[in-house]
Structure 1
Amino acid sequence: MPFRIGLTRDFLDPDGKVGWGDIGLAALDEADGVAWDFIDVVSGDIPPEAVRGYDALIVLTPRVTEDTLKGADRLALVARFGVGYDNVDVETCTRHGVVVTITPDGVRVPVAVSALTLLLAAAHRLREKDALVRTGRWEDKLAYMGTGLTGRALGLVGWGNIGREVSRVCAPLGLRQLAADPFADRDAAEAAGVTLVELDTLLAEADFVVVTCALTPQTRHLLNASRLATMKPSAFLVNVARGPIVDQAALTEALTARRIAGAALDVFEVEPPDPADPLLALDNVLLTPHAVAWTDELALGNGRGAIQAALDVAAGRAPAHPVNPAALDHPLFLSRKASR
């Protein structure tokens, strides 16, 4: 019996082609004893009938819920294409002996570079300057001076996989680097020239605040109205993590009142945002559709990571980067792995 791998159909464009380009599917075609196809789910909850008979799922945006796993007797792995896994009920997967993996190696550089892209765009007021050219207001450019980086403070909310890479790519730019992360390695931070501080200190001192932490119950609305109020009036906020980490209504109010200089957001509390959301009407915020890091590099890196996790399980090996390592010792997972 082949090891069956199902990919959610939201990888495909309306013409039935992989919209991401090369995500490494050739490795599945070349693997012995493996069969794969796309399951007929593009959004919402993955129904249980869609996953029966599969040993592994590679998931983009559809949700894996408790109902998804009903009757999924063969399922051993949910491989998330990316690092966010808020669309996967990890606790339920662990109870059912299903390992959940992510692809940190695939996103590390592309997301860090996208954070720098948004930071530079906000600092140089790229959105407004583009509009000056398009609307025939060339001579107004003196009113749109940008903010230089040299000697300014970069504050990283979260100093994990992405935050550390943001530090690395920003190192040549002459920024003083701060990070707030209770789990950060202090020796590694010191070696990287990063000063670990409390979040409130970071927000008060940073000229550029970049959010890179994971969304958890503890980080939901971590940047609320009171914390946003501690930021400098000249400061910019960049979020490439998850929308609900920032209280979007409070941020909209702060931007509207010009209590901070601006923001650049790739993520939102509700995605996609309502077209009538007042945030979308502001001229001091740059917005991208949770896709600023979407490049050929990210697509292939994420694809290879998720596919390798599936191939590892198919070969009876433990996959890399599990978010619920306890599931690796679950009798159901061990029995499925042993049967390969």
Structure 2
Amino acid sequence: MAFRVGVSHDFVSSDHPTSWGDIGLDRLAAEGIAWEFLPPDNGVLTAEHVAGFDAVVFGTPTVTAATVSGSTPPRLLARFGVGLDAVDVDACTRAGVAVTNTPDGARRAVATAALTLILATFHRLVDKNALARRPAWDGRLDLIGQGLTGRTVGAVGLGNIASELFALMAPFATVNLAHDPYRDPREARARGVELTGLEDLFTRSDVVVVTAALTAQTRHLVNAGLLALMRPRAVLVNVSRGPIVDTAALTEALAAGRLFGAGLDVTDPEPLPVGHPLLVLPNVVLAPHALAWTDEMARGNGASVVQAIIDVRQGRAPRYLADRAVLDHPRLRERVTA
């Protein structure tokens, strides 16, 4: 029986295999799996978009309950990326639609982006880049930065990204802390990480890196109270989701000089409106929620979604399921072995 795969329209490119370049879709053809691009979606996948496909690969579109409300929704929605805050996972589970993401593909790329923001902020790269473009380099000594070696780095969340980041920082001999209520302290210690309370983490860290997922519990988790606990020369880095950090509170702390700086790949809102103070503060390094977007991430995410598709076609449960309860749904139970 033919197995059809749809790829959301944000992947369409006029001069590359996809908008992300080569993401390894040739492997689907080698497995005898046909795929095609979906029509434009206006930011939301509809039931009509996904009807009749066995699996759909998607990047930026939102997935709602309406997406999977048709009579023939896919068995798999494979997110090209990690965040699932724009996906109604509960509705998909009720409809018997498995949802996967790609933490294995994004792990190294996002961790590298976090390290890039730490170093760029510590070394005052934005200020020094601006100075280097001027006719005279007066004032270089006014831009003395900070070294990372021996500093204390705290991660909000100890998942794939934070674990990879700590591994990347090994040559800097950092002291590694994390706050994650779902992690076993023994497992963390085996990775060279001390689990601690959130307030203790913000008090002790020279760098706080936000890597936790955005949920109702983590929205504005990093608030004025926690920011007030940070050391005067500390740095906040966010590579997760903007709303985890209270933007107004962070802006106030940075403008008042209570922090050394911030490195933000994500903000709230996105993009920041014209005239927002974060756009002009000299101690802020900004990226457009794309610092990790590299050929390395494209290949990694692509390999992950392709493997999920092949697993489902061959009757295996894909590795990175958002909700394993979906395997109990009749639509999947008859085709996929847990």
Are the counterparts in 2 of residues 53 and 72 from structure 1 also a CA contact under 8 Å? no
**What do residues 305-339 of structure 1 show as CA deviations (whole Å, max 9, x unaligned)?**
0111111111222111101100011112224559x
Instruction: Report the counterpart of residue 23 of structure 1 in structure 2.
Output: 23
Q: 2:280 aligns to what? A: 281
Stretches of 4+ aligned residues off by more than 4 angstroms: 14-17
Q: Which residue of 2 aligns with 1:5?
A: 5
Partner residue in 2 for 1:63? 62
> For the residues of structure 1 that align with 2:48 and 2:315, how far apart are their CA atoms?
25
Q: 1:35-114 counterparts in 2 under 5 A?
A: 35-41=34-40, 43-114=42-113
* TM-aligned CA deviation for residue 135 of structure 1: 2.3
1:39-68 superposed Cα distances (whole Å, 9 cap, x missing partner): 113542112211111111111010010111
Matched, 1:223 2:260: no
Question: Which runs of no fewer than 5 residues in structure 1 stay unpaired?
Answer: none
After TM superposition, the score normalised by the length of structure 2 is 0.96
Per-residue Cα deviation, 1:150-209 (whole angstroms, up to 9, x for no partner): 222111111111111111111220211111111123122212221111011110111111
8 A Cα contact 2:51 2:73, kept in partner: yes
Change (3 A) 1:148 1:26: same
The 1:215–1:262 alpha-carbon spacing in structure 2 relative to 1, beyond 3 Å, is same
Partner Cα separation in structure 2 for residue 83 and residue 336 of structure 1: 25
Change (3 A) 1:184 1:156: same
Instruction: Report the counterpart of residue 206 of structure 2 in structure 1.
Output: 207
**Is the 2:45–2:63 Cα contact (8 Å) retained in structure 1?**
yes
Q: Would you say the 8 A contact 1:7–1:37 is kept in 2?
A: yes
Q: Please, what is the CA RMSD of the aligned residues?
A: 1.6
CA distance in structure 2 between the partners assigned to 1:271 and 1:72 by the alignment: 35
Match of 1:130 in 2: 129
Separation in structure 2 between the aligned mates of residue 289 and residue 14 of structure 1, nearest angstrom: 23
Q: 2:327–2:336: 8 Å Cα contact kept in structure 1?
A: no
Alpha-carbon deviation of 1:136? 2.8
SS at match of 1:177: strand
The answer to whether 1:148 aligns with 2:147 is yes
What SS does the aligned partner of 2:208 have?
strand
Q: Secondary structure in 1 aligned to 2:66?
A: coil
Aligned-partner Cα distance in 1 for 2:35–2:149 = 51
1:246 deviates by: 0.6
Consecutive unaligned residues of structure 2, counting only runs of 5 or more, are: none
SS in 1 for 2:217: coil
> For the structure 1 residues 40 and 275, does the alpha-carbon distance in structure 2 shift closer, same or farther, using more than 3 Å as the test?
farther
How far the C-alpha of 1:82 sits from its partner, in A, is: 1.4
Q: Residue by residue, what CA displacement relative to the aligned partner does 1:118-144 show, whole Å, maximum 9, x if unpaired?
A: 101100001100000112341211000
Give percent identity, aligned residues only. 52
Listed as ranges, the matches of 1:142-291 within 5 Å are: 142-291=141-290
Q: Distance in 1 between matches of 2:271 and 2:252?
A: 20
Q: Could you say what secondary structure the match of 2:117 adopts?
A: helix
**Is the 1:43–1:63 contact (alpha carbons within 8 Å) kept by the matching residues of 2?**
no
CA deviation map 1:282-311 (0-9, x unaligned): 111000111111111110110110111111
Indicate the SS of the match to 1:37.
Answer: strand
Q: Is the 8 A contact 1:206 1:231 kept in 2?
A: yes
| 2:73–2:97 contact (8 Å) kept in structure 1 | no
- SS of aligned partner of 1:168: helix
1:273 shift after superposition: 2.3
